Structure 1
Amino acid sequence: EALPVLRIDEPTLEMTFKVNNSPFAGREGDFVTARQIQERLNQQLETDVSLKVSNTDSPDTWVVAGRGELHLSILIENMRREGYELQV
């Protein structure tokens, strides 16, 4: 007999992630291109069922939706520690 389907709440908070284009870009991170950030976000989607990533009109900008400030801040901090550099 199959287990009952779990209901996962929809994301409640959205943030815009984009490639860092400030004058200090590239000084703190190793992964700074749109392709690298997109691949990392796609990797996160495989394990984080409550995360949603949407593309925008700009190829270097994404709308990332999560369950709250803590959820998204953990993602941002993990990416920073892994060497990703982006603007939020």
Structure 2
Amino acid sequence: MGFKKGFRWLKKVIYKTNDDLDDALAEAKEVANIATALGENTLSLFFKLEKRDGTLKDQLSSIKQTLEELRRKREERMKELCDIQS
């Protein structure tokens, strides 16, 4: 692998990593926003996520699962509100 090819490959890896980090930050912000809207204790949620062990990939997967759970709760509460208003 020549220097230029190696450099191009490294640039692609760096850009992909930056995109992945941007996605993870956006998901973390969404977790915080949804948790706040639901009245969840964001500090305890943060510590719950922080205590997880494993690789960075495992931790990101855990955050995604928490985000999905919070989205589900939000949808349930919105449905309850619509039912009450009807």
Common fold: TM-score over 0.5: no
Normalization by structure 2: what TM-score?
0.34
Report the structure, 1 or 2, having the larger strand content.
1
Max Rg structure:
2
The one of the two structures with greater contact order (alpha-carbon pairs below 8 A, sep at least 6) is 1
Q: When you count helix as a share of all residues, which structure comes out higher?
A: 2
